[in-house]
Structure 1
Amino acid sequence: MQTVLTAHYLDPTDRNWNATIDTLWQQAGAAQNPAFIPPHFVKSTFPRMGGLVVAFYTGERLSGIGLLFPRAIINNNRHYTLRLHEIHERLADAAVQAALAKTPAIIYRPTDGTTFTPTAPRPAGVWIGPPQAGDLDAITTLYRKVWGSQPYPPDLFSREFGPGTALVATVDGQLAGFLLGFLRFGCSPTAKNELAIESQVLAVDPAYRQHGLATRLKQEQARLALASGLHCIHWTVDPLQLPNAILNFNHLHAVAGEFVRGYYPVRNEQNLVTASRFGITWLPTTLHGRQGLSDKRQRFQLSNLPNVAILNEGLRLRSVFADPLFIAIEIPSDWTALQHRDLNHAMAWRSTTDELFATWIGWDRYVIYAVAGDAGGHHYLVGRPAGAWIW
């Protein structure tokens, strides 16, 4: 009698979630398989964007691991792309579909071959568009250069996988940056089941950062999303990274209404201490958000904000009056360099600001919407009460 293939859905709220993912990845030989997605993403962002992890068993033998990526919402039902990693032998599609039962999914195997935009020369100057197969090695190299950790598998950029966003930026024909995003279920707190974009990873070569490529990549991502009928883009960011804050708030006019302490269980060149994160929401169809589609850059001075409550001076907390019109939280001017220069001091910065963000930031409290400076050269994240102005 043939043993039936069964699917076991993993619960991300289980207290052993991280350890379970590590064990599965080890059993499947992920360390020797570059097609496996970095486990820190699976542990953190993946379930938050509506993804599901499923382990397939033949009897008691682990036969495969599947990641169910959000794909579409049809008649109010969620549909997925199953990114399938088989361990011993190829599993029959019919058996996989039967095991998934009532979860509608298209099966995608990274081993089955991928295609990309046809190879063609790029124009001189700055160009942004879909990747070609010849870009994949350069993307992997750039990821390692910027992040210093395991890169995302290049097949995620392919037509077969169908990511939410797949973009590269070139300067005079040379790859200078890339942006990879996924589809997600739910984005803004007012639309819990909408299909949206999770803008997962962006990298720009330091040699080309004078071209504004990060802003251009994000703007093109938004235009493509809008053309597909998607109105919300979400991503996570380290709240202490000043360049990212300026990009997200002053250039793109996104807002941060979520904060998660210790979001990523990861250590790399930019995360030597606890990897806390803001959840960033960009709504490029709203009055506030659509300003991010223009090339206008806003600059804010703390002195121009009425009744602003400065919550800290470095590591020293300040007492503030009740219900201020604006709040300002000081952040380091170069967070990555600080972590490498003085790890203990960086840990103190993280602990202090984590407490402030956890206390003040939320969709029912204050949202961060700008970066402002003062006469002394300090930089602050500026928040105001959440309200109708966002939507």
Structure 2
Amino acid sequence: MAIEIKPLESLNDMKKVQDLEKKVWDMQPIPVHQTFTAVKNGGILIGAYDGKELIGFSYGFAGFKNGEVYLCSHMMGILPDYQSRNLGERLKHEQKRMALTKGYTLITWTFDPLESVNAYLNLHKLRAITGCYHVNLYGDMDDALNRGLPTDRFQLEWWIAEPHVNSYGRGPLTEDDENSLLETEINRDGLLFIQGQKSVADLEERDRWLVPIPDHFQSIKKKDLQLAIDWRMKTRPLFQQLLRKGFVGTDIVRKPEEKLCYYVFEYRTSLAVPAAFFKEETNDKY
């Protein structure tokens, strides 16, 4: 049976989303009165159904900043047995379609910069951009994905009415473009580590830079927490410097044979998107 993607609007729909949140994250769900009120006031809640079973959802609510209205895409969850089936992309495209009908031109959400699967969906498939880096945005979190690490996040801008998102031509990287700012190696345990860093004093000398991240960061975190922390602490200042110099993350290039992915950073002014919208935020504990 084909999986159906459709809006969720009733109180019963909201209760099904709560049950799904518990299954996906094993945490207390968002109260029904909150999601119901948000959907009634510009929010968007979308479900993926396999027959009568809700197996995935996407939830966003209206945001407002500097005189501009946007959609804050807060959560997306999919049951483990249905992950890696392109459902995340389908949910996001339906969110985009519904957002445009409501008059939104910008959708934003956050994700861990070291999670390559999320990065590939967000930047490569959806063509959002990373224009802002938040240090330890959510403080200490005790779930399996975040436990033991500062919750650093990229804030995405998905300009859903702009040419950058809606024109899909993208040229391949040339050999000259493969200018990685980090040097990496694989250790005796088969884990990727940072061996060295190139000087970032003259970032302006090129209009495109690459930053590697592990292809399976959670595997590193499970096997060697200190190595995972090292990745966080060494990539953090590099991402921050690139963004402060006017670069934004625009793509992800996969290199599975090297156990890594490359972020592609380009000047924001070279893209068909509006000026920077969000500013960096820091939790002072880290």
* Normalised-by-shorter TM-score class: 0.7 to 0.9
How far is 1:151 from its partner?
Answer: 2.2
Residue matched to 1:245: 119
**SS at 1:372 equivalent:** strand
CA distance in 2, matches of 1:260, 1:347: 16
- Aligned twin of 1:285: 161
Structure showing greater radius of gyration is 1
Q: What is the match of residue 146 of structure 1?
A: 24
Matched, 1:126 2:3: yes
Residues 254-293 of structure 1 aligned to structure 2 (within 5 Å): 254-267=128-141, 268-272=143-147, 273-291=149-167
The within-5 A match list for 1:302-313 is: 304=174, 306-312=176-182, 313=184
In 2: Cα distance, 1:257 partner to 1:178 partner: 26
After superposition, the C-alpha distances for 1:151-203 in whole angstroms (9 at most, x for unaligned) are 222333325753521111112332111111111113xxxxx321110001111
Q: Could you say which residue in structure 2 is the equivalent of 1:236?
A: 110
Q: Please give the secondary structure, in 2, of the residue aligned with 1:262.
A: coil
Aligned match of 2:196 in 317, 340, 362? 317
Separation (CA, whole Å) in 2 of partners of 1:355 and 1:145: 35
Q: Which residue of 2 aligns with 1:171?
A: 50
Which protein has greater RCO, CA pairs closer than 8 Å, 6+ apart? 2
- Aligned partners of 1:156 and 1:162 also within 8 Å: no
Residue identity opposite 1:367 in structure 2: V
How far is the alpha carbon of 1:338 from its aligned partner?
Answer: 2.4
- Superposition CA RMSD, Å: 2.4
3-state SS, counterpart of residue 360 of structure 1? helix
Candidates 214, 222, 245, aligned match of 1:332: 214
CA distance in 2, matches of 1:244, 1:322: 26
Q: Deviations 1:109-155 (Å, cap 9, x if unpaired)?
A: xxxxxxxxxxxxxxx41211222444444422332333343322233
User: After the TM superposition, which of the residue ranges 151-160 and 279-288 deviates more from structure 2?
Assistant: 151-160
Q: Matched residue of 1:263: which SS?
A: coil
SS at match of 1:158: helix
CA contact (8 A) 1:252 1:291 kept: no
- Give the Cα separation in 2 of the matches to 1:171 and 1:201: 20
Corresponding letter in the other structure for 2:47: V
Distance 1:219 1:351 in 2: 33
* CA pair 141-331 structure 1, distance change in 2 beyond 3 A: farther
What is the aligned residue count? 256
Q: TM-score, normalised by structure 2?
A: 0.81
CA contact (8 A) 1:147 1:270 kept: no
Structure 2 counterpart of 1:155, one-letter code: H
Q: What is the alpha-carbon distance in structure 2 between the residues aligned to residue 172 and residue 288 of structure 1?
A: 36
Rounded to whole Å, the distance in 1 between the matches of 2:35 and 2:108 is: 19
1:125 counterpart letter in structure 2: A
**2:248 counterpart of 1:367:** yes
Shift of 1:377: 4.0
Distance 2:203 2:98 in 1: 42
* Structure 2: gaps (5+ residues): 185-192, 274-286
- The residue correspondences of 1:335-346 to structure 2 (distance < 5 A) are 335-346=217-228
Instruction: Specify the alignment match of 1:30 in structure 2.
Output: none
CA contact (8 A) 1:184 1:195 kept: yes
Query: Scaled by the length of structure 1, what TM-score is found?
Result: 0.60
Q: Is 2:203–2:242's contact at 8 Å kept on the other side of the alignment?
A: no
Cα pair distance change 1:341/1:153, threshold 3 Å: farther
The percentage of aligned residue pairs carrying the same residue is 26
Aligned residues of 2:14 and 2:36 also touching (Cα < 8 A): no
Deviation at 1:283, TM superposition (A): 0.6
Deviating runs (4+, > 4 A) in structure 1? none
Whole-angstrom CA distance in 2 between matches of 1:388 and 1:354: 24
CA contact (8 A) 1:308 1:325 kept: no
Unaligned runs of 5+ in 1: 1-123, 187-191
Matched, 1:156 2:41: no
- Gap change, CA 1:366 and 1:322, over 3 Å in 2: closer
Change over 3 Å in CA distance of 1:136–1:336 after alignment to 2: farther
In the alignment, the residues of structure 2 paired with residue 183 and residue 305 of structure 1 have an alpha-carbon distance, to the nearest angstrom, of: 43
Give the direction of change, closer, same or farther, for the CA distance of 1:146–1:329 in structure 2 (3 Å limit). farther
The Cα of 1:389 is off from its aligned counterpart by 1.5
